[in-house]
């Protein structure tokens, strides 16, 4: 809790000249405040599966603004009391009875979160509205943080993404999610894999043809990977539609402010089951698997050596892309990470693991007190570090060559 | 009168005055005893004088609602208040009330204007000190306004903390 703003009130009595001074601080005003949530038709809540530590989280959706917040069990308990009839003091007491302790900081952070999501009826205060998008104070740290935040929030979006996805889904997109399509894909991938193993003996001649035409090879590969990426996110979005949920956005952005990539915002799938979420996560990489398989199978049908080499190369690149996408331990929130987060029922696993880093040393000193969820976060961190280190070691020769060339 | 002149040494706006100037000023001051709880002036009363606290404690407040005022500040021995009344004919901006039995020294606007015409050097020294005090009080008011806003923001759940990032999943 911040330092209370000490204010004094002079309360006049009916006697001439009589008065009483009452000292108040923000905490008192705060305690008497009765937060009021939106009416029930303006929000929906879905319980998530139990996480590794046995707790349950809840996703709360604002239907008016189409925004979402993740609540833990304690926050969900508080949300139940934000009905405009209970003061924070009463809520605090109820919380104490239910959980054995209470800290006003928790309620304050929750209120900030809920106001940010527009889930509480906001009071117009001092006749001004907070401009949350405005530039912060002149302190360089705040400005830098603000700029990083804006940089990360930058994206190019397709207008009316949900309407577009619904249309594509109705006009044939639904066929992608038919069981026959799935088994055909698996069968095709199996055949392509067997074929790829047989092609292994031609690897050196394929490499020779591809090396001979580097520009053609790079151009075709780049175009294929970009097209596959677009299809990949579109299929994520269609999978979301297959479960009757809304696609909030389709577009292009910098993942974690660094990696340029296409994306589909499928947050609404959290209002559905875990199985639905994993289906949506897997649908994207299946595009690369299927396209890669088609490329490898086509390589068999093509007679020209260059065409065969190119198709085989594309097939392998697409499969590799699918594997990279499904690998969860690389600090990036890609499909594999999302599946891991869904399986562990820890949708904020990466953020929680990263938040653990500053306290890692002291937590490791007291490792006996680590909760199960913390072990998972620690495991995620360790595997990410190992993966990144191995990746660097494997590619060190390539890096050396690059440095020498420059 | 000599005692008053001696006392003025402790009053901030008289600190640049020599003994003779303080004696001249002391002659213009009117002493007044006021019992605890008495109202010296109310918000929106006509203003035409400044008060120096010779002894006691004065509470300055501004009306908020019904019988409730917000306390702006307190003045103690050697402090002065109501200085706006020396320059400005606008009504009082706040209410002044004694918290304990007090003795005040009153300087009327007419008397102050007389100093300006008769002793411009003394008037300039007083004004210079008064401006310094105005600045200090303006800063204090700014701080108090900021606190009041923060108080209101907290009470209604607003926070000026960095924006909370909303939950979401972008499949890539």
- Mean pLDDT within A221-228: 94
Give the model's confidence band at A137: pLDDT under 50 very low, under 70 low, under 90 confident, else very high: low
- Mean pLDDT within B143-168: 63
Asked if residue B165 belongs to a domain, the reply is no
User: Which residues, in sequence order, are CB contacts of B27 under 8 Å at separation 6+?
Assistant: B1
- Mean pLDDT within B106-124: 91
Residue of higher predicted confidence among B62 and A102 = B62
Asked if residue A137 belongs to a domain, the reply is no
Asked if residue A172 belongs to a domain, the reply is yes
**Angle value at C-alpha B170, between A264 and A276, nearest 5 degrees:** 80
Asked if residue A145 belongs to a domain, the reply is no
pLDDT computed for residue A129 by the predictor: 40
Residue of higher predicted confidence among A133 and A177 = A177
pLDDT computed for residue A225 by the predictor: 94
Top residue of A3, A19, A129 to mutate, by most chain B CBs within 10 Å, is: A19
A254 & A372 share domain: no
CA-based nearest distance B49→chain A, Å: 22
Total number of domains constituting chain B: 1
Asked if residue A171 belongs to a domain, the reply is yes
Average pLDDT value over all residues in chain A? 86
Total number of domains constituting chain A: 2
A188 & A323 share domain: yes
B108 pLDDT above the threshold of 80: yes
Partner residue opposite A9 with nearest CB, options B68, B150, B162: B68
For A247, nearest residue in chain B (alpha carbons): B170
Domain interval for residue A192: 153-343
Query: Is the CB of B164 inside 8 Å of chain A's CB atoms?
Result: yes
- What CATH number is given to the structural domain containing B18? 2.60.120.10
A331 & A191 share domain: yes
Give the model's confidence band at A2: pLDDT under 50 very low, under 70 low, under 90 confident, else very high: very low
Whether the CB-CB separation of A312 and A299 falls below 8 Å is answered with: yes
pLDDT computed for residue A262 by the predictor: 95
Q: Write the DSSP assignment of B113-158 as a string of letters.
A: HHHHHH-HHHHHHHHHHHHHHHHHHHHHHHHHHHHHHHHHHHHTT-
CA-based nearest distance B50→chain A, Å: 21
pLDDT tens-place string over residues A338-371: 999 999 999 999 999 999 999 888 888 888 788 8
Asked if residue A121 belongs to a domain, the reply is no
**Angle value at C-alpha B98, between B96 and B104, nearest 5 degrees:** 85
Give the model's confidence band at B137: pLDDT under 50 very low, under 70 low, under 90 confident, else very high: confident
pLDDT computed for residue A111 by the predictor: 83
A203 & A280 share domain: yes
Domain interval for residue B63: 2-155
A381 & A292 share domain: no
pLDDT computed for residue A109 by the predictor: 80
A281 & A383 share domain: no
Top residue of A1, A4, A5 to mutate, by most chain B CBs within 10 Å, is: A5
pLDDT computed for residue B154 by the predictor: 60
Query: Is the CB of B37 inside 8 Å of chain A's CB atoms?
Result: yes
Partner residue opposite A233 with nearest CB, options B150, B151, B171: B171
Token output for B167? 């939950």
CA-based nearest distance A17→chain B, Å: 5
CA-based nearest distance B90→chain A, Å: 24
Cβ–Cβ below 8 Å for B147 and A338: no
Average pLDDT value over all residues in chain B? 87
């Amino acid at each position: 809790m911040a330092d209370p703003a000490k204010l004094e009130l002079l309360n006049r009595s009916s006697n001439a000249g009589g008065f009483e001074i009452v000292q108040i601080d923000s905490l008192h005003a705060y305690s008497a405040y009765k937060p009021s949530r939106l009416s029930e038709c303006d929000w929906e809540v879905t319980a998530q599966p139990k996480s590794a530590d046995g707790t349950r989280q809840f996703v709360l959706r604002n239907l008016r603004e189409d925004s979402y917040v993740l609540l833990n069990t304690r926050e969900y308990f508080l949300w139940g009391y934000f009905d405009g009839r209970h003061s924070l003091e009463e809520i605090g007491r109820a919380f104490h009875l239910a959980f054995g302790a209470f800290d006003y900081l928790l309620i304050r952070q929750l209120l900030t979160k809920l106001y940010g999501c527009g889930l509480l009826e906001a009071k117009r205060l001092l006749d001004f509205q907070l401009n949350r998008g405005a530039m912060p104070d002149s302190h360089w740290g705040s400005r830098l943080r603000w700029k990083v935040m804006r940089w990360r929030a930058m994206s190019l979006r397709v207008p009316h993404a949900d309407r577009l996805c619904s249309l594509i889904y109705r006009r044939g997109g639904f066929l992608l999610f038919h069981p026959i399509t799935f088994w055909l894909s698996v069968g095709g991938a199996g055949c392509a894999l067997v074929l790829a193993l047989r092609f292994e003996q031609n690897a050196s001649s394929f490499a020779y043809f591809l090396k001979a035409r580097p520009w053609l090879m790079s151009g075709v590969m780049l175009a294929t990977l970009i097209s596959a990426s677009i299809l990949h996110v579109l299929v994520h979005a269609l999978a979301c539609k297959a479960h009757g949920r809304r696609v909030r956005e389709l577009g292009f952005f910098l993942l974690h402010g660094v990696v340029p990539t296409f994306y589909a915002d499928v947050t609404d799938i959290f209002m559905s089951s875990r199985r639905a979420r994993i289906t949506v996560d897997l649908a994207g990489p299946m595009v690369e698997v299927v396209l890669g398989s088609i490329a490898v199978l086509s390589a068999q049908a093509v007679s020209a050596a260059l065409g065969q080499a190119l198709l085989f190369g594309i097939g392998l690149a697409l499969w590799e892309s699918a594997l990279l996408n499904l690998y969860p331990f690389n600090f990036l929130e890609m499909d594999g990470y999302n599946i891991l987060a869904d399986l562990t029922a820890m949708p904020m696993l990466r953020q929680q693991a990263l938040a653990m880093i500053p306290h890692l040393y002291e937590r490791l000193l007291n490792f006996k007190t680590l909760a199960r969820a913390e072990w998972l976060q620690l495991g995620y961190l360790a595997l990410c570090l190992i993966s990144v280190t191995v990746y660097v070691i494997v590619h060190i020769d390539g890096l050396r060559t690059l440095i020498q060339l420059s | 009168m000599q005692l008053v002149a001696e006392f003025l040494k402790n009053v901030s706006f008289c600190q640049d005055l020599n003994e003779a100037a303080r004696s001249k000023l002391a002659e213009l001051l009117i002493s007044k005893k006021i019992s605890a709880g008495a109202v010296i002036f109310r918000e929106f009363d006509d203003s035409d004088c400044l008060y120096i606290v010779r002894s006691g404690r004065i509470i300055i407040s501004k009306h908020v609602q019904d019988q409730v005022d917000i306390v702006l500040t307190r003045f103690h021995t050697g402090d002065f208040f109501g200085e706006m009344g020396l320059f400005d004919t606008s009504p009082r901006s706040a209410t002044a009330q004694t918290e304990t039995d007090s003795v005040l020294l009153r300087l009327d606007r007419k008397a102050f204007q007389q100093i300006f015409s008769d002793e411009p050097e003394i008037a300039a020294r007083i004004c210079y000190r008064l401006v310094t005090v105005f600045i200090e009080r303006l800063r204090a008011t700014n701080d108090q306004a900021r606190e009041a806003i923060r108080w209101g923001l907290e009470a209604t759940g607003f926070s000026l903390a960095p924006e909370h990032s909303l939950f979401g999943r972008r499949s890539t």
